[in-house]
Amino acid sequence: MEKLRIKLEKWVNGGFCLAHHEGHAVFVEGGLPGELVDISLYKTGKKEWFGTVSEVLEASEKRIPSDCSVFMECGGCSYRHISYEQEIELKTSLLTAMFPEWKEKLEVVRGPENEYRNNVQWQSNGKEIGYFAKNTHRIVNDSHSVCKTIDKRLLWDLVPQGIKKSVSKQKSIQLRLSSKSIVNYERDQTEINVQNTKLKVPERGFFQINQFLLEPWLLKIKSLLPDSSEVLELFCGCGSIGISIREKIKSLYGMESHEKSIRYAKENAKVNVALSFEYEVSDLYQKHLPKHVAKFPIWIVNPPRAGLTEGIIESASLFSPKQIIYSSCNPSTLKRDIVRLESIGYRLEFMGLFDFFPRTQHYEVLVSLKK
């Protein structure tokens, strides 16, 4: 691994500090702006290089000692060398740099910085269990017992023996909190209680990971809806958003490509007496939306990191819904999609940063656009 001594300039997205060396942009993990550091390069392209701090020669006054013994080795967290206050300021400034007009209006919602994750994916090589070191298949010593981001009950040492026996031969061990137990979510369904709502999530089904911010996020979505809303919910999963805020919704049509999630959405709607809710299996990355959903004046969309397709944007142009509520875990694709939506007549009315992933580079952004 090539070593390099470099002065770090500023924060950029992805948990990196930016520096420059001999015409190359150098993206560095584990540093702070203004620091002089030695780095180990792990990727060198024609224009961009990537590296990790190996030694700090001149430290920033904002640097704090990490509270995790495997920080930077496991690669899960990006910001354990600054305070959580600093991290929130950083995420806010990175987001408002993309949306300058929201600098004074951005709503920021945060919760506890540790023990927030309701699931974990442990790796096993037959002898050790833990997280892989970044960019390797080597398990990081002690990572199974020291991770700060997951609920303590998911630390391997505290997992009940019965569950350990049932998953011990697997290479990837996927655990999630389920009402009052722990389940292997690759194989078993999860039960979640939120907002006077009982939800079942199928095995391998997606569910938001931050157990503390789930309710504030749902309440904010609910507050953005008018009474008696008629809603089209795209990427609806097992129906969790619409069903949890059903008091505001007169009728709902949910679409999702995962067939089992749609089956669960129908069941969840029934159990929670959301009797006017309908669901359809549909690959939203393949085509335009069907004409029969044109009648819904409000859309709620919660896509994967890739964001919305041209087909969905074109359908918005054609069907002209009055309001689009969009929750995104990728600010870059969100920015792209907002520019597209603004070009067909939508205006951004609300933006909120929900720090679903404290101590990591990631966060959720919730926006509402109106025609």
User: What is the 3-class SS of the chain, one letter each residue?
Assistant: CCEEEEECCEEECCCEEEEEECCEEEEEECCCCCCEEEEEEEEECCCEEEEEEEEEEECCCCCCCCCCCCCCCCCCCCCCCCCHHHHHHHHHHHHHHHCHHHCCCCEEECCCCCCCECEEEEEECCCCEECECCCCCCECCCHHHHCCCECHHHCHHHCCHHHHHHHCCCCEEEEEEECCEEEECCCCCEEEEECCEEEEECCCCCCCCECCCHHHHHHHHHHHCCCCEEEEEECCCCCHHHHHCHHHEEEEEEEECCHHHHHHHHHHHHHCCCCCEEEEECCCCCCCCCHHHCCCCEEEECCCCCCCCHHHHHHHHHHCCCEEEEEECCHHHHHHHHHHHHHCCCEEEEEEEECCCCCCCCCEEEEEEEC
Interatomic CA distance for residues 130 and 139, integer angstroms: 6
For residue 335 the two structure tokens come to 């920015």
Q: Is 236 a catalytic residue?
A: no
Catalytic residue among 17, 68, 77, 329: 329
**Beta-carbon neighbour count of residue 116 at 10 Å?**
22
Give catalytic residue positions. Answer: 329
